[in-house]
Structures are given as structure tokens and as C-alpha cells.
Copies of this chain bind each other. A is one copy, B any other.
Amino acid sequence: MPELRKDPITGRWVIIAGDRPKHPADFLRSPVSAGPLRVCPFCPGQEEKTPPEVLAFRQSGEPNQPGWSVRVVPNKFPVLQVEGDLDRQGDGMFDRMNGIGAHEVIVESPDHKLTWADMPERQLEDVFWAYRARILDLRKDFRLRYITVFRNYGEAAGSLIGHPHSELVALPVIPKRALEELEGCRAYHAFKERCVYCDIVQQEVRAGVRLVTETDRFVVIQPYAPRFPFETWVIPQRHNSHFENADPPTMQNLAWVLRVTLRQIEKTLENPAYNLVLHSAPVQEAPMAHDHWHIELMPKLTRVAGFEWGTGFYINPTPPEESARFLKQAAI
């Protein structure tokens, strides 16, 4: 019997079609490869192919020269720009404003072929420090209300450049998806006087069936009502609404946890494409008792990911208890 499950944060119902659960081998395999080196604008020596860097961690060399380990540059084809006024206006019954914001690329390593599964832990930690530094800098611009950091890995996930990188977009509005999450967290907190993510962490550690990894700083789970097969959430054990307020031991452990998780996913699903998104509270807000930063990772396993566009609901052929079992079996 198929099952309907409700996401406790957003209230979204998902169909878990568990009668014929899809196992890792049932999905279309198309392992991601980094692609040719030749023309990569993110490789050392090609620094002039990007706009000048806004941040770099480097052992040697001048700005915009080789010698960096992590480098952040504005996107060459930004979807938003920093200069200008918001100019909010009505247009008859409609509302518009100028596309003010920032769109940056975090080049995560000089090595064109590294994945997060292969990356030295210290290197990955530096990537997170770069996220943090950019968020702290950008939030000084009070027009920017929400900052999203995401990693599209592989062409199927929307990445056109194979070199390891993430992107950051700073927006003058809070996107709908983030608002829904905030609203859901607020409603749960109003009812229970507890954070919904803190409750999820507790329940998942106790239940165990969807728990993949637990450290003293993080849990890695397959969520109760996942939209996609092998959807994975990485949630800090300690309540904190803003990623940029995480302490050094947390940043360090995050690198360890993500590296382990990506190794499990790579091994179980043959290096699939994925989208990884940092969910964190709006940057201009004070710390919140009801919101809790975390990371969501969605492997791209089905050829057509667009079913939800057409129908308004999600169908997931793999119960999270099954996917958790497969990930745990992938010895590291």
C-alpha cells in the first residue's frame, strides 16, 4: 500500500510508493565526471578569465594569481547585480523591483578533479569558512535579506563547469521556499515551544531507522517525508538559526560529516549528480529560537525530475528507511 507522509516543517504531503521500493541499482546511473581540463576558467593560471576575486585563501602569490586554495569571484554572468536602487514599484496590480543582489562563485580547490568525497577535510573546512566570510561581508548591505549558498554537482544538477565550486546568491527578498520553512518553524514553535529541527534530531536519534550518521555536533538523516530518493539532511545537534554563527569545532566537524556522507552517496549511487543547499535564517534577523540551520542534499537519480512541476505533489519510490539502510551499508 502506498503511503502519504507529511513534512512537519512545510506541511507538504509526499507519496512514498513503497510497494516496489527502488533500490540503488534501479536508478539510471550516469556518474559525474569533471570533464576536460583545457579551457577551465576556475583552474590556477586562468584567473583573468573570471572577474577579480572578492576573497581568497592563499599560501603565496598576489591577488588574482595562482597560489590560492579557495577563491571567491563574482559570477561572470550574474543573475543579480549590486549597483543601483531597488526601486520597488507597482505595475497595475503587479509588483516589481530591480534585481539588486549578489551572485558569487566559490572555487573550492585549485585541483580541477576533486570531489567533496575526495577533498582533504581541511580543504573542505576552508570552503565553509569562505561561505561564512562572504555571508558576514554581504549582510552589511541591509538591502540584502536572504543569502542562499548552493552546490550544483554534475550537469544533471545544472552545473556547466566541472571544476569543484559552489555558488552564493544574495537576494533583496526572502524566497518563497525559505519563507515557507520559516513559517512552518514558527507555527511549530508557537504550538510546542520547541524548535521543530531539535525535535527531529531527538526523534531520529531515538528511532534510528532513518539515521545515517551521528556525531556530537551533527546528525545525518533521510527525512521522514523526502521529496526525492536518497534526499539527505545534515542537521547540527545544537540549536542555532544562522550558519554564519557556527563555532570553529562545528565548522570542522561539518567538513568531516559531509565528506563521509558524500563518500557513502558516491559509493551507493555511483557518483551521482546532486544539488546541495545551505538552509539558514534570513541574514538581517537576530538569532531565532524557532529556526535551525542545516544542509539539504538531493541526488539527481531519476531522468525526469520535473514531475512536481506538472502535478503539485511529489512521488518518491524509495522509503527513507530503505535509503538509510543502503547508505549505512556503504562502509567508508
Contact = CB atoms under 8 A, between A and B. Distances in A.
Interface in A1-43: 1-6, 8, 10-13, 15-17
A96 B4 contact: yes
A246 interface: no
A316 B207 CA distance: 42
A152 B99 contact: no
A99 B304 contact: no
Given A8-B94, A79-B17, A203-B92, A275 B306 contact: yes
Given A15-B80, A169-B311, A95 B5 contact: yes
Contact of A176 (B10, B150, B175, B298): B10
Contacts of A176: 10-13, 312-313
Given A15-B79, A81-B1, A311-B277, A94 B224 contact: yes
Interface stretch (A113-121, A126-134, A155-163): A155-163
Given A17-B79, A224-B94, A4 B173 contact: yes
A97 interface: yes
Contacts of A5: 94-96
A74 interface: no
Interface string A285-318: 0000000000000101001111111111101000
How many residues of A sit at the interface, in one of the four size bands?
A: 35 or more
Contacts of A1: 81, 84, 98-99
Nearest to A149: B311
Contacts of A97: 3-4
Contact of A93 (B8, B98, B158): B8
Q: Is the interface of A mostly helix, strand, loop or mixed?
A: mixed
A275 B249 CA distance: 47
A172 B93 CA distance: 34
B158 A310 contact: yes
A148 interface: yes
Interface of A: 1-6, 8, 10-13, 15-17, 78-81, 84, 91-99, 148, 150-152, 155-158, 169, 171-173, 175-179, 199-200, 203, 206-207, 224-225, 275-277, 298, 300, 303-313, 315
Given A5-B95, A16-B99, A300-B306, 19 more contacts: A1-B81, A2-B78, A3-B96, A4-B173, A11-B179, A13-B171, A92-B203, A92-B207, A150-B311, A155-B303, A175-B311, A175-B312, A175-B313, A176-B313, A177-B313, A275-B306, A276-B310, A298-B309, A305-B305
